[in-house]
Amino acid sequence: MGTTQLESVPEPKYWHLKTVLTEALDSEFSVGEILPNERDLAARFGVARATLRQALEQLELEGRLHRRRGVGTTVAPPRMGVAVGTDQHAWPGGPEDAWRPVDCALAVPPAAVAEALRTGRDESVHIVRRSRVSRGQPVAAELLYIPASSVPDLSAIDAPSATARARAVLRELQRLELERQENTVELGSAGAEDARELDRLPGAPVLVVTTRFIAEGRTAALSVATYRADTCRLTFGDFGGVEIHHGPQRRAS
């Protein structure tokens, strides 16, 4: 942690500006406040607008700023802790579930999903689309893939609404005994449909959580959920109470 090592790293101009801006955010601005426009900010800190934009992008990645068309740049509240896979033994759609079913269709899944589910290349599966809202804000969108073999007793779904169809599939799925869940998290970008549900522009960074639901020794269902990376901190296990705000919290010490 010596400064010698740090100094050997050439620090880009926007990186230094980011540090200065962070201090200004802490001392001069409150949550929700709109920042001055880019021209004024660039003038105040004596930097080119391109440098300013890079620094603002960094702060957006770290969840310190929100940038929205038509509104401008505002100071972000601390990220919300959103529980993921906390109950290892709960099926989707159970009583404690934070997700709301939106749609249900029978269609051929992407190849990688078919591989994980061991369904045939052209075999249709139930695809339940769900959304998750926390504190009044959309935080995640999900596609849940359920092969017909996981819901063998499902009778023809003639429910009038997409939501009712989704509930019927989930109810059948819950008859299986769930062994465990397995989760992966990676960085992705919001597709057009996700972007609309999450109230973001297409391409916005998202955290993609893939969950395998294991029952009877095989993957009985697969969920691909995209969480807003700007407002969410995913929690695994019960992380109750402690809030680590605003990104890495790593400073030379």
Kindly tell me which of 153 and 214 has the beta carbon lying closer to a copy of itself: 214
Which amino acid, one-letter code, is at 201? Answer: L
Binding to a copy of itself in span 20-39, by CB under 8 A:
none
- Residue 163, interface with a copy of itself (CB under 8 A)? no
Q: Tokens 């926390």 appear where?
A: 134
Rounded distance between C-alpha atoms, residue 2 and residue 213, angstroms: 46
Which amino acid, one-letter code, is at 73? Answer: T
Kindly tell me which of 88 and 175 has the beta carbon lying closer to a copy of itself: 88
- Residue 138, interface with a copy of itself (CB under 8 A)? no
Applying CB under 8 A, which part among 13-21, 30-38, 131-139, 166-174 lies near a copy of itself?
13-21
Rounded distance between C-alpha atoms, residue 124 and residue 108, angstroms: 4
Binding to a copy of itself in span 69-128, by CB under 8 A:
79, 81, 85, 88, 103, 105, 107-110, 112-113, 115-116, 127
Smallest separation (angstroms) from a copy of itself to the CB of 189: 5
- Residue 129, interface with a copy of itself (CB under 8 A)? yes
∠ CA 179-185-190, nearest 5°, is 120
Smallest separation (angstroms) from a copy of itself to the CB of 35: 18
Kindly give, in sequence order, each residue whose CB lies less than 8 Å from that of residue 253, ignoring residues fewer than 6 positions away.
1
Smallest separation (angstroms) from a copy of itself to the CB of 160: 16
Tokens of 36: 């001055």
Tokens of 179: 């062994």
